[in-house]
Amino acid sequence: MAGIYIHIPFCKKKCIYCNFYSIANTKRMEEYVNVLVEEVCGVRCGVCISSVYFGGGTPTLLSVNTLQKILNTVYENFEVEQNAEITIEANPEQCSLAYLSALKKMGFNRLSIGIQSFNDEILQYLGRTHSGKIALDAIENAQNAGFDNISVDLMYGIYLRNLQDWKNELKTVFSLPVKHLSAYSLTIEENTLLHKKITQQKTLNIDEEQTLQEMKLLMEEAETNGFEHYEVSNFAKTGYPSKHNSNYWNGTHYQGFGASAHSYSGTSRSWNFSNVDKYIDAIQNNEIFYETETLTSENPPNSCWISGPCL
């Protein structure tokens, strides 16, 4: 059993805290999808796939037809389990009922919505492009589209919110038809706008004591509402832990496609260039677009799990 990760690095704008590889420029998005499909076609392996995860960036910036093209390519080149977990990350503002219904129809059965907060002031501070109402509408649309397995992201440790505010946000999320919660502490990563603002004293630094209190409250409220704390930042109702995320912790093999995507074969790791232009150009020119490290000296890497130049 193994997992597949598809990285879509495009965003409308960059959030102030984000240190993942993403760009607020969609100029080469069509080219990117074409070479991504080439990369998938270049890896054929008879390993049973238990999870497929579209992450970003913002995968829901892609049209329904484009996502269908990528997903079809995965199914054509890999043996995907009948009950495999097929996840897509989504921003609330793209979660119209029509769009989500189309995603459900094409085979996505798990939706991960990046909400971060239901408070408009906090959302604006974080650089998010949705409102609290749009976030609530997105969850309602997901349910109406037929998604039973809905996950949301929340963020804590934000100076604009006190402990009671955080409790209210948790009360909101646990009242919704959500089966999984990923909750992350706001952290300061170098080369982010947040780091720059704090360094220039244009915003307050993170209060570690407040963050700790909010984390403890999160754990208490999650347990009270029947959510198991199964990973550091992840909580789930019984039967709904993320198969894909669990693969990383369990040492399961996974194959990543797209710029900056990582792969693990059991004996080696590889990672694609973290640059859209270099990734596209390398594949178009039939050149190496990844780096590799061997984890053991005795056993060679399992080459079918390492992306090579597409032929």
Is it true that the peptide bond before 46 is cis, omega within 30 degrees of 0?
no
Task: Indicate the SS3 state at residue 28.
Answer: coil
Summarize pLDDT for 272-289 with one digit per residue, the tens. 999 999 999 999 999 999
Does the model's pTM come out above 0.75?
Answer: yes
Tell me which amino acid residue 78 is: F
Structure token pair of residue 80: 């995907």
DSSP state of 160: T
Percentage of the chain exceeding pLDDT 90: 74
Query: Does 171 map to a domain?
Result: yes
Structure-model confidence comparison of residues 17 and 275, the more confident one: 275
Query: Does 82 map to a domain?
Result: yes
Query: Does 279 map to a domain?
Result: no
> Residue 32 maps to which CATH number?
3.20.20.70
Which residue, chain included where needed, has tokens 């890999």?
Answer: 78
Query: Does 278 map to a domain?
Result: no
Query: Does 295 map to a domain?
Result: no
Query: Does 304 map to a domain?
Result: no
Q: How confident is the model at residue 221 (pLDDT cuts 50, 70, 90)?
A: very high
Strand order in the sheet with 234-236: 228-229, 234-236, 180-185, 149-156, 110-116, 79-90, 48-56, 2-8, 253-257, 262-264, 268-272, 290-294
- Residue 302: pLDDT over 90: no
Residue pair 158/186 in contact (Cβ under 8 Å)? The answer is: yes
Q: What are the CA-CA distances from residue 230 to residues 83, 155, 182, 221, 242 (Å)?
A: 21, 18, 11, 15, 10
- Residue 178: pLDDT over 50: yes
- Which of 122-126, 137-141, 247-251 is predicted most confidently? 137-141
Query: Does 173 map to a domain?
Result: yes
- Which of 12-26, 44-58, 207-221, 292-306 is predicted most confidently? 207-221
Q: How confident is the model at residue 171 (pLDDT cuts 50, 70, 90)?
A: very high
Range of the domain at 31: 2-254
Question: Residues 194, 200, 204, CA angle at the centre, nearest 5°?
Answer: 60
Task: Indicate the SS3 state at residue 113.
Answer: strand
- Written as one string, the DSSP assignment of 139-150 is HHHHHHTT--EE
Helix (H) or strand (E) segment spanning residue 88 = strand 79-90
- Residue 308: pLDDT over 50: no
Structure-model confidence comparison of residues 306 and 162, the more confident one: 162
Query: Does 102 map to a domain?
Result: yes
Task: Indicate the SS3 state at residue 270.
Answer: strand
Q: How many domains does the chain have?
A: 1
